[in-house]
Amino acid sequence: MQDVTKIVLSIVPLLFAIILHEVSHGWVAEKLGDPTARMMGRITLNPISHIDPIGTILVPGILLLTGSHFLFGWAKPVPVNFGNLRGGRRDMALVAFSGPLSNFLLAVLSAIIFHLTFGGIAGSAGIFDRIIVPIHMMAQLSVLFNLVLMILNLLPIVPLDGGRIVVGLAPEHIAISMARMERYGMLIVLLLLASGMLSYIVNPFIIIFWRILM
């Protein structure tokens, strides 16, 4: 029963973390000159517009059901026409950075909610207990999910945001070499996940931010 409760309480913070990440890309791209995401109706918090059957449902679901200590997922990428960005590669880096930044800010907000509701748990009763305890638990899970998404997406692997940041800021010959690796990027990430190496790479950074916030 506890596992079912945890899965149910995980859905909202996980969806919100993934969707806000993608919306941030589209919103910043629009501010920098590219209206593609707005024109395609993707700058919205409506989950139907962002759900990817594999990345938003299947992968997180399998990880939750198998009791994995590492949980992540993704939504349908928000379309960005980098050719429309006024600042060229620099703006591409800003668009990429906006996703992890949104997750960091959401993690901070969730941590504040977690601490504000902590005192209410001990003294809550009845209907307050039914409200405060789930909010407290979702805030805790939200911090974790957002830290995972932030750190994972900052890995310097294209098409992850970290890879696009490097492509946007690195000298042109390095940027071209990295861009050519994009077709293999998600395969590399999935291989790292399957081998267990991904946890060893990102967990130390997650632990640092977790200790700071929690």
Q: So which residues are the catalytic ones?
A: 22
What's the token pair of residue 153? 């997406």
> What DSSP string runs through 20-53?
HHHHHHHHHHHHTT--HHHHTT-SS--GGGT--I
Classify residue 161 by burial, with Cβ atoms within 10 Å: 0-12, 13-18, 19+.
buried
How many residues make up the chain in this entry?
214
Work out the number of other CB atoms within 10 angstroms of the CB of residue 200: 10
How far CA 130 is from CA of 31, 120, 127, 140, in Å, comes to 41, 11, 5, 16
